[in-house]
Amino acid sequence: MLGVMYALVAVGFTLFFGVLDVIHFSHGDIFMLGAFAGLTVLAGLKAAGLGGALLALPLTFAVSIVATGLVGVLAERVCVKPLARASPLMTLLATLSLGLVIRESVLIFYPRGADPKPFPQLLPQGGVELGGFVVRYENLAILGIGLAAMVAVDRIIKSTKMGAAIRAVAQDPEAAQMMGVNLDRTVDATFFLGSGLAAVAGILSGLYYSEIHFIMGVTGGVIGFSAAAIGGLGNVYGAILGGLLFGVLQTTAAALIPRGSEFRDVVAFAVVMLFLVFKPSGLLGDKSVERV
C-alpha cells in the first residue's frame, strides 16, 4: 500500500527528469499540497451536504488533481523553466526553496496548519480473512486506485499524442521541436501530469493514515526521489518498481528489526545509498548516469 503511494510520487520525479533533466525538489511538497487540496474539497462537499463516499471520492480526486496539477505547472514556470540554462545547482536550490515556501504557506495560511489534520475515512472498513491474513477492504481500495492511476499514466504516455510528445522531448528536445512538438506545452503537460499523480498519492496517503500533516511532504519527497533513483531516473516503470520496492523495504524493516517502526526509514535510506554505490543507474535506468 505504501509502495503504491511512493510509486506515484516517484513517477512524477522521473517524468520531470526525463523531460527537462531536472530534479524538481518541491515535488514532495506538491504531494502534501495534493493531500490538503483533497481535505479542503472533502470539507467543502461535506458543508454542501454531499457527504456520500460514492460521489465525494471521485469528485475529490478530480478537483485535487486539477488544482495540484496547476500548482505544479506554476512551480515549473516560476522556478524550473527560467533556470533551465543555469547550472543544475541553481535549479536544485530554487526548487528546494520553493518547497520551503509551499510548506510554510500551508503551515501559516491553512487554518491551524501546524496540527496534524484528521482525514475522513471514506473507504469501506472491515476486511476479509484469507488464509490467516486479514485483508482490509480499505487497503484493497487504495491498491486499486493506485494501480488504476498507474495504468492511466501508462496509457497517456503510450497512446496519446501528448504522451508521444513527452517521450520525444525526453529523448531529444531539439529533434522533437524540429518535428513540430511544442516544447513549452509538452513540459507544462508533463508537470501537470506528474503533479496530478502526486495529488492522487497525497489523498491516498490521507486515506491510509487517516491524517495528514504539513511536514509529510519532506519525507514523502525524499522517499519518492529515492524510489525514482532506485528504479533508474527517467524510466517510468523503474519508478513504479522502485516505489514498490521501497515500500517493501520499509515494511520488512519494521517487521524484522526490534523497534523497527522507528528505524524503518534509516534502513530504507541506507539501502538506497548502497544502491547508489553499486548500481548508480538504477534497476531499469535507460538514461546512463553521468559518472565522468
Binding positions for other proteins, 262-281, rule CB under 8 A = 262-263, 265-266, 269-270, 272-274, 276-277, 280
Q: How many residues bind other proteins (CB under 8 A)?
A: 48
As given in the structure block, the three cell numbers for residue 175 are 529533434
Neighbours of 180 (CB within 10 A): 8
- Mask for 11-30, x = binds other proteins (CB under 8 A): ------x-----x-x-----
Helix or strand run (H / E) with residue 127: strand 127-130
Question: Which listed residue (79, 176, 181, 240) binds other proteins by CB under 8 A?
Answer: 79
> Can residue 253 be called a binding residue for other proteins (CB under 8 A)?
no
Question: Which listed residue (59, 84, 92, 162) binds other proteins by CB under 8 A?
Answer: 92
- Which ranges constitute the DSSP H helices of the chain? 2-20, 27-47, 53-75, 88-109, 137-159, 161-171, 173-178, 183-209, 216-231, 236-256, 260-278
C-alpha to C-alpha distances, 109 to 7, 51, 104, nearest whole angstrom = 29, 25, 8
**Closer to other proteins at the Cβ: 121 or 219?**
219
**Residue 54, SS3 per DSSP:** helix
Report how far residue 30's alpha carbon sits from residue 100's, in angstroms, rounded to the nearest whole number.
11
> Can residue 78 be called a binding residue for other proteins (CB under 8 A)?
yes
Smallest distance from other proteins to CB 290, Å? 6
Which residues of the shown chain bind other proteins in the complex (CB under 8 A)? 17, 23, 25, 78-79, 82-83, 86, 88-90, 92-94, 96-101, 103-105, 108, 218-219, 222, 225-226, 229, 233, 259, 262-263, 265-266, 269-270, 272-274, 276-277, 280, 289-292
